[in-house]
Amino acid sequence: MSNVGLVVALPALLVLVALNKKHKGKPKNKLAKAVIAALVLLMAFTVGCGFAYSFVGRWIASGVSGLAHLIGAGGGLAIGLTVVGILWATADVMYDRKADKGAQGWLIFLPTLLALVVGGQLGATGGQAVAVFFDHAHTFLAQMGGA
């Protein structure tokens, strides 16, 4: 697996930081606030998708797998963290109608957690689950394009 994901993650991270600094509470129009919040959350998820396809995703996957092995949770830890992340981000945005740091943080880690859940290989080689998931996704997309 290469670190091509950083080509996506780093520019998206710069856009996310710029959106956070430039539009912090400035728009008065409710529609503009909603659009900016949606863009911020989309950028945070894009950063996470890029990180999931790089060494950062392998580190996160290995850490979650190591912790799951340590406490004997198996694949349940990744599923639990994914559910908590989705609920946390949703509740955070619903509570104050802002896409603040809590929701953004969970959305950055969510793609790697989703890859772990879908990959299904959470034994001692949890870091490889992300690679397996993206290999299957690449094969599927190549078959769709070649048909």
Question: 26-45, pLDDT tens digit by residue?
Answer: 667 878 777 888 888 888 88
Q: Which two tokens stand for residue 62?
A: 């290995």
Task: Give, in order, the Cα–Cα distances in Å from 5 to each of 92, 129, 142.
Answer: 27, 16, 18
Give the range among 10-19, 54-63, 131-140 with minimum mean pLDDT: 131-140
Task: Give, in order, the Cα–Cα distances in Å from 136 to each of 87, 114, 130.
Answer: 28, 14, 10
Q: Could you read off the pLDDT of 45-65 as tens digits, one per residue?
A: 889 888 888 888 888 888 887
Percentage of the chain modeled with pLDDT above 90: 0
Domain count, the chain: 1
Q: What average pLDDT score do residues 122-132 get? A: 56
* Per-residue pLDDT at 124 exceeds 50: no
Q: Which two tokens stand for residue 5?
A: 């994901």
The span from the CA of 58 to the CA of 107, in Å, is: 17
Report the chain's terminal Cα–Cα distance, integer Å: 25
How big is the CA angle at 98 (ends 93 and 102), to the nearest 5 degrees? 60
* Per-residue pLDDT at 125 exceeds 70: no
* Per-residue pLDDT at 126 exceeds 60: no
**Do residues 85 and 106 make contact, with C-beta atoms less than 8 angstroms apart?**
yes
The span from the CA of 19 to the CA of 11, in Å, is: 12
Residue that is written with structure tokens 């998708």 in the block = 49
Range of the domain at 140: 5-146
Q: Taking the model in full, what pTM does it have?
A: 0.69
Q: Where are the beta strands (DSSP E) in the chain?
A: none
